[in-house]
Amino acid sequence: MKRQIFSVTQIPGICLLLALLFACSPTPPPSQTASPTLTSSPTMSPTIPPPPPTVTPEPAPKFRIIGYITDWGVQVAPEQIAKLTHINYSFALPKPDGTLDFPANTWKLQQYVQIAHERGVQVLISVGGWGLDKEFEAFAASPELRAKFVTSLMQYVDENNLDGVDMDWEYPSRALGTGPTGGVSSENFLALMKELRAELDKRNKLLTAAVAAYGENAEGIPDETFALVDFLNLMAYADAGAHHSTYALAKQSLDYWHARGLPQNKIVLGVPFYAQPGDAPYRKLIQADASAAQTDFFNYHGTIAAYNGLPTMRAKTQLAMERASGIMFWTLNDDSTDATSLLNAIYETAQGKQSVLPPLPFGAGFRFSTYGPPYDPGVKYWADFAENMSERFDGAPPQIIWIVGNVSGTGTQLTFFGKSDNPAIHFSMKDRNEEALTLFDQMGAQVWLQVEPGNAPVDVLIRIVLEKYAQHPSVIGVGVDVEWFKSTDKPEGQAVSDADARLWRDTARQFNPTYRLFLKHWAKEKMPPTEREGIVFVDDSQGFESMDVLVDEFETWGKTFAPAQVGFQFGYPADKKWWGELQDAPREIGEKIRARVPNLAGLYWVDFSAFDVFKVTE
């Protein structure tokens, strides 16, 4: 921008204190346009500082969307690539002598480079991968072999018009290296990164690395690495089994690297486009059943597959937008290409497009309490009962209400050990829930953690419960038994206000944005008057004359809260006089309810009569 200098005649005159020596120049009238002729008197024109130049703020850094694409995977379409900022093309494989085996399909790489560059997307070659730590160790301990490696890699970058290098050494450690000259593995890694940085700087290219989510495998990355890289990709998807890549793991990984001092603008959160166990591609799950996109568990060929569906992927993207500089995924080859696309969910979230949580898929299971059944046959029985209820409804996801807080005195007795300064919150000496939740994780169940608050503050209870159990992927939200809201002597409770409901739901979502709140009562007037988003309304009415009367009541309840979802507890002993005559009471009653209530989220047989419909076996 050109700087503007103003004449003294274009501003008001300034009278100096030393009036005996200096005279003030008069201000010209508005009609005067020409500059006046300065007199020959010893009058000093004042120096007028120019206005500060207008500074155009730099645009905010673009949120990174980084997709690994494999040399051997299915072809990725240009419209998918257009939604990325970077491609990490995999893999160049290091060898112990410092040479590399580069991807065999050079033509495919060059095609991707052309498509990417036409769309402003950068392409990096990813070096390494799982199981090649010994190869890295062998050459990285030797300055001569490192130089050989760097030279070969730079030649490949130049020849293929690549934009940088992504190092995927899994994993350098603080232990002694295994190379011919020994040395500490992490020190060898750092030396290699320094040499790569020097060569890439000559070319104005990027240097990045894939690193472990946290813990021992991450500790092998020296802090000095932070200044050498453009960013680090956190592989927050390496946990096995049901904990494969939970929202809690993503937060834990971000917490770890922030605590290490890695700048936020160099943090990229990694997410999976595949399931564990078995590494099934997400697109294969969708091909089997498109509804798998809305959950994080799916029964794939008889095995419960854990992965990230659309709601969790959107939530993780939002988390990355708040606490990182981008999101990375393994691999784009594994994504679907229709409305269930994970990349599309990431892209739209990053563009600021808000999405309402999709409806919960219908689930069937039971309500469990410590006071309901005549005795507790153990967690295996309850897991089997959940599966049994699922099978009665064509394999609907097992959905469980698991009570973790019972009204006690003037407050709540939580069924696990803990501490609180609130006199209305009490704890148990042993944890009654961890074993059950671990089993529910493994079977892909969906679990509501319910409290009976009494006079205890509900938002505090929710926080205590989720601090204890939010790491379990089976947990989908928290439930409040409104019959015991600010009530301790009889199950009626006070009405929930819209502000109450928002506070409770938003408290849960501080732990996971996909969490929902359920509110249970038999009286509609006890529910919040207008607040509906992210809330499931559960009716536990009982004492009906017949199944038709029960279904009529539940249909009315569903219409009252539509389009919000609803759920029903049924199977109470007060109704056994007629349901006891049915051949398969849960299924027969449930199917009638499903036919009349389109916004149904779940059906829960109460534990009071669980043994009547699912026998205990030794």
Q: What is the 3-state secondary structure (H, E, C) of 552-617?
A: HHHHHHHHHHCCCCEEEEECCHHHHHHHCCCCCHHHHHHHHHHHHCCCEEEEEEEHHHHHHHCCCC
Q: Which two tokens stand for residue 585?
A: 């009471």
Categorize the per-residue pLDDT at 53 as very low, low, confident or very high, splitting at 50, 70 and 90. Answer: low
Evaluate if residue 55 carries a pLDDT over 90. Answer: no
Q: Quote the pLDDT of residue 370.
A: 92
pTM value is 0.82
Q: Quote the pLDDT of residue 51.
A: 54
Please compute the mean of the pLDDT values over residues 57-85 and round it to a whole number. 90
Q: Quote the pLDDT of residue 176.
A: 58
Higher pLDDT, 524 or 180: 524
If we measure between CA atoms, which residue out of 58, 45, 151, 57 comes closest to residue 98? 151
CATH H superfamily, domain 64-273+309-350:
Glycosidases (3.20.20.80)
d(CA 205, CA 158): 10
d(CA 465, CA 479): 11
Q: Which CATH architecture has domain 363-613?
A: Alpha-Beta Barrel (3.20)
Q: Quote the pLDDT of residue 270.
A: 99
Q: Quote the pLDDT of residue 86.
A: 99
Count Cβ atoms below 10 Å from residue 417 Cβ, excluding itself. 11
Top-confidence range, 409-413, 509-513, 581-585: 581-585
Q: Which two tokens stand for residue 71?
A: 């040399």
Categorize the per-residue pLDDT at 353 as very low, low, confident or very high, splitting at 50, 70 and 90. Answer: confident
Domain boundaries, the chain: 1-56, 64-273+309-350, 363-613
Higher pLDDT, 241 or 264: 264
Q: Quote the pLDDT of residue 21.
A: 34
Least confident of 318-327, 448-457, 489-498, 579-588: 489-498
Who's near 165: CB < 8 A, 6+ residues apart?
124, 125, 127, 153, 157, 196, 200, 205, 206, 207, 208
Q: Quote the pLDDT of residue 591.
A: 98
d(CA 523, CA 525): 6
Contact 539, 568 (CB under 8 A): yes
d(CA 86, CA 245): 22
Secondary structure (DSSP) of 475-543: EEEEEEEGGGBT-SSSTT-PPPPHHHHHHHHHHHHTT-TT-EEEEE-S-GGGS-SS--TTEEEEE----
| CATH topology match: 64-273+309-350 vs 363-613 | yes
Token pair 């890439």 is found at 200
Percent of the chain whose predicted confidence (pLDDT) is above 70? 88
Q: Quote the pLDDT of residue 184.
A: 83
Q: Which two tokens stand for residue 183?
A: 């040395």
